[in-house]
Structure 1
Amino acid sequence: MLQSLRPAVVMLALFTLLLGLAYPLAVTGVAQIAFPDQAGGSLIRDAGGRVVGSALIGQPFAEARYLHPRPSAAGDGYDASASSGSNLGPLNPDLAERVKTEADALRGEAGGAAIPADAVTTSASGLDPDVSPAYARLQAARVARARGVPVQEVQAVIDANTRGALFGFIGQPRVNVLLTNRALDAKVPSRLLSSAPSSVPAA
């Protein structure tokens, strides 16, 4: 009996050490060396070193002077502990009503332009940090009015923070909301709220 069990116990211990300890440590070490920023969570810090968010995790922005992210169904919105989509089917009346309500609210901002899908639909995670360039451009006029600056200044920051598809063909062009809002605070300070503290500290 012992002779039959010994090989199984030895193999269990060997593969536990190899796959449960050595391999994860090796992958973690390579990641920390080759991609330290991504391995550390792509954290964004202010000038004082305080973490203000992650480039990979969406967060809410409600002020008119900032780009707003796409809607979130994660908990009460952007709750990383409850990451989820709405799980509502395309024919669900609750989804149709919510999309209609949000689209109606955006029509004045759109100025007749088409409303992008990501402006009124949630992502699968509820934590999407990016919006489409079309949705970012749709918000440029509102952001410019709130900051008291020409819309061209806001659009220039959006354009500078627009990233294309990975390797030119993977994914879609995107605008990171947190990074763009920080760039707006740094490059297009609000002339109407110059004395108000920013909720997104500029670098």
Structure 2
Amino acid sequence: MGGRLNWLRAAVLGANDGVVSTAGLVVGVAGATSSADALLTAGLAGLLAGSLSMAAGEYVSVSTQRDSEQAALDQERQELRTTPEAELAELAGLYRAKGLDAELAQAVAVQLTRHDALAAHAETELGIDPDGLANPWHAAFASFLAFTVGALLPLLAMVLPPASVRLPITVVSVLAALTGCGWISALLGRAPVRPAVLRNVAGGALAMAITYGVGELLGASGA
């Protein structure tokens, strides 16, 4: 359940990044030009670049974590083969440190070692589930998909409506989406909803305001 919540939280944050970064990009371009073709080109380029960057970053991050965990598990396997008595004593000591009395700690350590010594040490000593190592490809695809879904909202909101209303529609749509992302992330993290939503909305609004202002300045200077 905890792993599923972590994935959901990561998906929401990825979608949130897609919304904010793409909204900032297309709103900035809208400040410089009203060309639908320019907005579509910039939005698609930002969507593709952002989603690929997110996927690559997540792949590298999870791969590094997985390699570190695998190395720790390999070392633990080696120690269990070469010094099983010392490892058993170490495991019993860890259970004593958790509050079990010496006799019970020894009995638990012996029984869990007989059942699956590596799993017992990995969970108690390393905080690792040997059967639950994260897959970097899954993480990369999830990040790519989440960012893409988030990025599509401001892109479509900017290029589909008529030129006269595309900017306000985009702003309202983005702020509504950021409200939803902040609310969901707060619920998943069991955090207060109001501060999370306000931070999310304020950050997105500030990003759009700054990029629009820069776009207007660049558009005016190039005119």
TM normalised by structure 1 equals: 0.22
Would you tell me which structure has more helix in proportion to its own residues? 2
TM normalised by structure 2 equals: 0.20
